[in-house]
Amino acid sequence: MSINKNVKKITVPEIVNMKKQGEKITALTAYDVLMAQILDDSGIDIILVGDSGGMVMAGYENTLAVTMEEMLFYCKSVRRGVKRALLIADMPFLSYQTSIEEAIKNAGRFLQEAGMEAVKIEGGKAVKDIVKKLVGFGVPVMGHIGLTPQSIHQFGGYGLRGKDDQIAKQLLEDAFILQEAGAFSIVLEKIPSALAKEITNNLDIPTIGIGAGKDCDGQILVSHDMLGLYEKFKPKFVRHYAELGKSMREAFNGYINDVKNTKFPSEDESY
Ligand code: KIV
């Protein structure tokens, strides 16, 4: 692993401090070295190796099928491309829920084998003891509440969470529990903006929103979504900053046409 000494690495305390300074935190996902390198060069604060990789890289229907070995492969690839951004590994389904021992062992693998600097786990009160233990052993933990994709079968789909008072109250409580347990930040996914604002204003640790409005301390999107590469569905909270799917189709069609019509390679492209 080679880390360029001239580039200042972003750390967990710096991310926490950004909230105190009122500086918005930027986060996107990556699963491979080239995407990670380009993201890092662009100046992103956090790169999350999300289990969303199972959907956008491997083509699974949802994130439940993603394994530790797949996540480790993505994480090692991303690690090789990054000098500056804070690197967070998403712990896949069943890698932390079965026992605290399993959670410690698997979180440890992300730091020890893949060079990650923190892990993200889904859930509130139910994962309190796991968060406490991991943080106690020096593993920084990012929480994730609201729409937690590893629980979609329980929720019955990808709908907005926390629109009724009881769930909103529970999410606020979960956020406090995670902070108390030692999490350094919390992802708030697909919850009403007003609730995200209330959680954000009441916590000392930063909130990172995805479909949670502008008042979170930072924002995260799946890179393949914001680049217009993942075309299966587009939630309202995704903004396309590029149309790479369209550009790639045009490029591939251009190549196919040129080869079929003997326009590629040219004399200049030949020896
Ligand atoms: O897996 C993922 O990419 C995530 C983000 C959307 C927060 O959990």
63 Cα–ligand 1 center, Å: 10
Residue nearest atom 1 in ligand 1 by C-alpha distance: 50
Question: pLDDT by residue (tens digit) across 187-246?
Answer: 999 999 999 999 999 999 999 999 999 999 999 999 999 999 998 889 999 999 999 999
Domains of the chain, residue spans: 12-240, 244-271
CA distance 13 to 9: 11
Ligand 1 atom nearest to 189, measured from its CA: 7
61, 189, 250, 269: the active-site residue: 189
The model's pTM is 0.96
Cβ(184)–Cβ(10) under 8 Å? no
Q: Does any ligand 1 atom lie closer than 6 A to the CB of residue 92?
A: no
Q: Is 122 a catalytic residue?
A: no
For ligand 1, say whether the CB of 222 is within 6 Å of any of its atoms.
yes
What is the rounded CA–CA span in Å between residue 21 and residue 185? 15
Distances (CA, A) of 33 to 57, 72, 111: 13, 13, 17
Residue 199's SS3 state is helix
Token pair recorded at residue 105: 């062992």
Are 31 and 49 a contacting pair, CB within 8 Å? yes
The b-or-e profile of 165-200 (16+ CB within 10 A means b, else e) is eebbebbbebbebbbebbbbbbbbbbbbeebbbbbb
The DSSP bridge pattern shows strands 218-221 and 207-210 to be parallel
Ligand 1, atom 3, residue with closest C-alpha = 50
Helix or strand (DSSP H, E) at 198? helix 193-202
Dump pLDDT digits (tens) for 123-150. 999 999 999 999 999 999 999 999 999 9
- Which residue of 52, 95, 226 sits with most ligand 1 atoms within 8 Å of its CB, as the best mutation to test the pocket? 52
- CA 50–ligand 1 middle distance (angstroms): 5
Report how far ligand 1's centroid is from the alpha carbon of 95 (Å).
Answer: 16
Q: In ligand 1, which atom is closest to the CA atom of 48?
A: 3
User: Cα separation of 190 and 209, whole Å?
Assistant: 8
Residue 143 pairs in a beta bridge with 186
Closest residue by CA, ligand 1 atom 8 = 50
- CA 39 – CA 72 distance, rounded (Å): 19
pLDDT class of 1 with cuts at 50, 70, 90: very low
Q: What is the pLDDT of residues 180-202, one digit of tens each?
A: 999 999 999 999 999 999 999 99
Ligand 1: centre distance to CA 46 (Å):
12
pLDDT in tens, 4-47: 557 899 999 999 999 999 999 999 999 999 999 999 999 999 99
| Three-class secondary structure of residue 251 per DSSP | helix
**For a substitution probing ligand 1, which of 39, 48, 64, 223 has the most ligand atoms within 8 Å of its CB?**
48
Would you say 45 and 16 are in contact if contact means Cβ atoms under 8 Å apart? no
Ligand 1 atom with minimal separation from the 149 CA = 8
Pocket test for ligand 1, best of 150, 189, 219, 225 (most atoms within 8 A of CB): 189
CATH hierarchy code of domain 12-240: 3.20.20.60
